[in-house]
Structures are given as C-alpha cells and as structure tokens.
Amino acid sequence: MINKYHSVKPVFNNKLPQLFIETYGCQMNVNDSEVVLSILQDAGYALCEKIEEADLILVNTCSIRDNAEQRIWGRLDHFKVLKKKKKSGLTVGILGCMAERLKDELLNHAGVDLVAGPDSYRDLPRLLAQIRGGDKQINTMLSQEETYADISPVRLDKNGVSAFISIMRGCNNMCTYCVVPYVRGGERSRDPESILREAAELFENGYREVTLLGQNVDSYHWVEESNPTKTTNFAQLLERVALISPQLRVRFSTSHPKDMGDSVIHTMAMYENICKHIHLPVQSGSDNMLAKMNRKYTRKEYLERVKRIHEIIPGCSISTDIIAGFCGETEEDHLQTLSIMKEVGYYTAFMFQYSERPNTKAARHYPDDVPSEVKTRRLNEIIALQNELSLISNQADLGKEFEVLVEGPSKKSDKELCGRNQQNKMCVFPAGEHKIGDFVKIRVTSCSSATLKGIEIK
Ligand code: 5AD
Ligand code: SF4
C-alpha cells in the first residue's frame, strides 16, 4: 500500500547524512535512482544537491556501450580525490548495470566502497551499515521476482509534470549484441494494482504525464497469484492507466516490433490521452543483420507494423534506435538501413556505433569486423539522413494544431515556454499567462529539425 504521508519529492534536511545520486544511461535507470532515494530516505538519509556536501555518493551506471563504462571509470578516479579531501568520511557506491557486470573489479578500485546490482537496492541500508563497520560491501544477486512494486519512488525530475513508472524489469529477448539480459536479469512484470496506485498518486500530486517503462512493454504479462486465470496484458494495463483521468497523458517505452500487436495500437487510438507516439527500435534495415541480431522480425514485418500503426492511428509519430556497423555488416546492409529510415520517415532516432559487449552472443560468436572508421562513416551518414528526415517531418506539421504540455521556459527566452506535443516533438511558443503543467493548444508557424515553433490558439 502506498504510504499516505509519502513525499513524492525529495525532503532536504542537512542535519541528516547527505546523499548525492548521479545517474547515467536510460530512463529505467532514472526511475531506479528514484526507488533508491525512497529506500534511503526511509533509512534516514537526505538528498543533497552539491556533490561536495555528500557523505554518500551513489552512481547509477550503464553498460550498454563501452563508452558509457569508460565515463564511469573516469568518475571513480575523481571520487578517490574527493574521498581524500573529505575528512569526515565519504562513502562511494556503484549501482546498476556496470555494478552487476563488473562486480569485484569495481569493488577493488580505491574510490569505491559499495557495489550493488539492480535487484539488490532493498539491501542498501544493511550494506551501508556494514560499511560503517569498516568493510567494503557487495551484493549483485539477480532476482526472478523483484519489481520494487511496493516502493513509491521519490521523484528526481525538475518540473513536477512528467514521471516514469517501471512496469516490468529485465529482458528475455537475447538480442545478440545486447548486455541488458545479463545485467538486469530475466523479464518480470509488476503487479498492475501497484502501477495504477502509483500513477494515481502522481496525478494527485500535480503530475500530468506518466511514461510506462520496460525493455519490452509489449510482453508485459501479469498473472494474479490467487487466481491464475486472471491476467493483464499491456493493452489492458495501458487502458487502465489511461482511465485514471483524461487530464493524465500516458506514454510508454520501449515497444518491440516482434511483439507489438494490434490490440495495443487500437487502445492507443481509443483514448485521447494516450500519446500518439511509438518508439519502435529497428536496429537495422537489412534482413541479414536482423537475423544475426536475433531480432525475430524481418524488414517486411517491421514495415507491416508501421503500416498498421498509420492505418489505425493517423498522425502517430515513430522514433527508433539504430546500430551502425554490427558484425559482418556490408555496404549493402548499411544502404538497407538508410532506405528503411526513408521509408518509415522517423521523426527522430537514437543512433549508435556497434560496441562489442563481453560475453554476449555476438562477442562469443561473431567477429567485430567492421573497421572503426567505417562504423564512424556509416553512423555519420545515418545521422545526416536523420537530420533531413526530422526536418521533413517537422515541416509537414506547419499549420497544424497540437496540444502541448508545458514543461518550463524555453532554452532561449523566459518569454517563451516549451513542452511536448503528443507526438513527442518539442514545441516552443510565447508564454502568455501559462505555467508549468498547463495544456496549451498551439498552431505551428515555423520549425527547425529539432523544434516546432507556434502560437497559442484559443
Ligand atoms: N552497441 C551499440 N548499441 C547498442 N544498443 C544496445 N546494445 C548495443 C551495443 N552493444 C542500442 C540499441 C538499443 C539501445 C538502447 O541501445 O539500439 O535499442
Ligand atoms: Fe537488449 Fe534486445 Fe532486450 Fe532491448 S530487447 S534490452 S536490445 S536484449
């Protein structure tokens, strides 16, 4: 049961031991840091905003590509220096995917006192108490059950408008390049009742948008313990969250092309407050690469999904993830990726060079044989094309009307506000009397590849 007196925002109190949290990687990690803060606030810590004031620094890490890990190693050397400076004592803990992957290798670093994997956050108060006894501590046990369902995250977002809700953890897909199933364990879904309570609590606290998070939300599947015939799938969960209030926008991420069925698309079309945006990672446009990546769909099947989305939800935007230079990728494979990007017309994309991750199937079986300069060139071509596609997508919105949820002042001027439309595009418009959390209707008057600019319409 969610505690009535639970604060959704951090409580600052400099009489308590001070905790500083640094988060790297995906949205799931941001939400995990919020779970960790909730656990440690209950254990008597208070969040601080300056790292120099911290008695405890926790770093929530990412292992998805090698450069993400290299950044953390750099930070550890810095923490070693901070530890020397802080006479009253400083504890440094490494959490998350890199903690899970590297275990003792991290613990042995002079800047580190604690290593805790993604399923061991409930154990943090005990581990920290043990450290006060003088020993370094580690817990990297993965779990088949842990979903932190009963813990209300303490929100770390700045604006109080938009929040993440994890609906499941782990991944069973075993894409051959990906380290996630090894560091976050097997897939498990969270009790829908706890998800609904959390979303309702956020709404009552002024939040106007929730994003349901999972590595593959389409495989969400909850079976009632007391009555195994009673199950909830993702489309049903989405509908129940949408019914909390028409004033609460609902988003979700990430969809898997092999699992995204028509029922989810129909549910999106049925509810005005489910945002018309789907993040549908394609990874590559070449059937050879998709098979080698173990994505379990073909280019044709992916395009068929896209067609269904447009048929059922007119005006739905689609974004994607793309990997350049996977093992054995030929020039022809690369051209196939460029061509599928044009065919779909993504409004935005996250684009990466392939980075071999130790112990994945790709690392064990396929040589990482695309030369680094070729990977870079291909990635640059993908990025250049995406910039063109983003501009084309935004130009197609000129003159259209959208509802925007205000997130804050625009980057360039206090006289302008910014926020996203349902399609997840950033919109900027004159502030007028509006404030953060308002829904404002605008008409698009100009655009760049990154932003829509508009004016309010009454
Ligand atoms: N190298 C490069 N990109 C990767 N991703 C996952 N693993 C790797 C890797 N080894 C990308 C995929 C995924 C996104 C979250 O990160 O595109 O969808
Ligand atoms: Fe990794 Fe594939 Fe799971 Fe995504 S679906 S986390 S890419 S294994």
3-state SS track over 285-321:
CCHHHHHHCCCCCCHHHHHHHHHHHHHHCCCCEEEEE
In a domain, 441, yes or no: yes
Q: How does pLDDT run across 221-253, given as a tens digit for each residue?
A: 999 989 999 999 999 999 999 999 999 999 999
- Residue 259's H or E segment, with its range, is none
Domain termination residue (choose one: 369, 396, 423): 396
Instruction: Give the pLDDT band of residue 2 (cuts 50, 70, 90).
Output: very low
User: How many structural domains comprise the chain?
Assistant: 4
Q: Are residues 95 and 200 in the same domain?
A: no
Q: Are residues 177 and 259 in the same domain?
A: yes
Question: Residue 363 maps to which CATH number?
Answer: 3.30.750.200
Contact 140, 100 (CB under 8 A): yes
Residue whose CA is at the smallest distance from ligand 2 atom 5: 173
Q: Which residues pair with 289 in a beta bridge?
A: none
Q: Which residues pair with 323 in a beta bridge?
A: 352
Query: Burial of 202 by CB count in 10 Å (0-12 exposed, 13-18 middle, 19+ buried)?
Result: buried
Q: Which two tokens stand for residue 147?
A: 């979903």
For ligand 1, mutation pick of 352, 370, 382 (most atoms within 8 Å of CB) = 352
Sort strands 209-213 and 162-166 into parallel, antiparallel or unpaired. parallel
In a domain, 81, yes or no: yes
- Residue 415's H or E segment, with its range, is none
Cβ of residue 281 lying under 6 Å from some atom of ligand 1:
yes
In a domain, 150, yes or no: no
Q: Are residues 237 and 319 in the same domain?
A: no
pLDDT at 166: 97
Q: Are residues 322 and 405 in the same domain?
A: no
Average pLDDT, the chain: 96
Contact 366, 328 (CB under 8 A): yes
Distance, in Å, from the CA atom of 281 to the CA atom of 288, rounded to the nearest integer, reads 17
Question: Residue 222 maps to which CATH number?
Answer: 3.30.750.210
- Residue 295 alpha carbon, nearest atom of ligand 2: 2
Q: How many Å lie between the centroid of ligand 2 and the Cα of residue 180? A: 6
Annotate 205-236 with b (16+ C-beta within 10 A) or e (fewer): eebbbbbbbbbbbbbbebeeeeeeeeebbbbb
Q: Are residues 85 and 27 in the same domain?
A: yes
Distance, in Å, from the CA atom of 344 to the CA atom of 145, rounded to the nearest integer, reads 38
Residue whose CA is at the smallest distance from ligand 2 atom 2: 175
Q: Are residues 250 and 315 in the same domain?
A: no
Residue 88 has pLDDT above 50, yes or no: yes
In a domain, 286, yes or no: no
Cβ of residue 276 lying under 6 Å from some atom of ligand 1:
no
pLDDT at 318: 98
Cβ of residue 283 lying under 6 Å from some atom of ligand 1:
yes
Domain termination residue (choose one: 107, 139, 171): 139
Q: Are residues 181 and 248 in the same domain?
A: yes
Domain termination residue (choose one: 250, 275, 300): 275
Q: Are residues 370 and 441 in the same domain?
A: no
Q: How many Å lie between the centroid of ligand 2 and the Cα of residue 178? A: 6
Cβ of residue 184 lying under 6 Å from some atom of ligand 1:
no
Residue whose CA is at the smallest distance from ligand 1 atom 16: 64
Q: Are residues 346 and 379 in the same domain?
A: yes
Query: Burial of 341 by CB count in 10 Å (0-12 exposed, 13-18 middle, 19+ buried)?
Result: buried
Q: How does pLDDT run across 339-356, given as a tens digit for each residue?
A: 999 999 999 999 999 999
Other Cβ atoms less than 10 A from the Cβ of 272: the count is 12
Sort strands 231-233 and 221-223 into parallel, antiparallel or unpaired. antiparallel
pTM for the whole structure: 0.96
Cβ of residue 17 lying under 6 Å from some atom of ligand 2:
no
Instruction: Give the pLDDT band of residue 6 (cuts 50, 70, 90).
Output: low
Residue 140 has pLDDT above 50, yes or no: yes
Instruction: Give the pLDDT band of residue 5 (cuts 50, 70, 90).
Output: low
Residue 15 has pLDDT above 80, yes or no: yes
In a domain, 303, yes or no: no
Q: How many Å lie between the centroid of ligand 1 and the Cα of residue 335? A: 19
231 upstream amide cis, omega within 30 of 0? no
Other Cβ atoms less than 10 A from the Cβ of 392: the count is 13
In a domain, 345, yes or no: yes
Q: Give the DSSP letter of residue 321.
A: E
- Which position has the higher pLDDT, 212 or 89? 212
- C-alpha distances (whole Å) from 225 to each of 163, 221, 222, 231 are 28, 12, 9, 10
User: What is the extent of the structural domain holding 47?
Assistant: 18-139
Task: Kindly provide the residue ranges of all beta strands, DSSP E only, lying in 75-208, ordered along the sequence.
Answer: 91-96, 114-116, 137-139, 162-166, 168-169, 188-189
Q: How does pLDDT run across 399-447, given as a tens digit for each residue?
A: 999 999 999 999 988 899 999 999 999 999 999 999 999 999 999 999 9
Cβ of residue 215 lying under 6 Å from some atom of ligand 2:
yes
Q: Are residues 99 and 186 in the same domain?
A: no
In a domain, 288, yes or no: no
Distance, in Å, from the CA atom of 90 to the CA atom of 254, rounded to the nearest integer, reads 37
Q: How does pLDDT run across 19-69, given as a tens digit for each residue?
A: 999 999 999 999 999 999 999 999 999 999 999 999 999 999 999 999 999
Q: Which two tokens stand for residue 415?
A: 């006289």
Q: Which two tokens stand for residue 247?
A: 């004033």
Q: Are residues 391 and 405 in the same domain?
A: no
Residue whose CA is at the smallest distance from ligand 1 atom 7: 178
Q: Are residues 247 and 189 in the same domain?
A: yes
In a domain, 301, yes or no: no
Question: Residue 436 maps to which CATH number?
Answer: 2.40.50.140
pLDDT at 87: 80
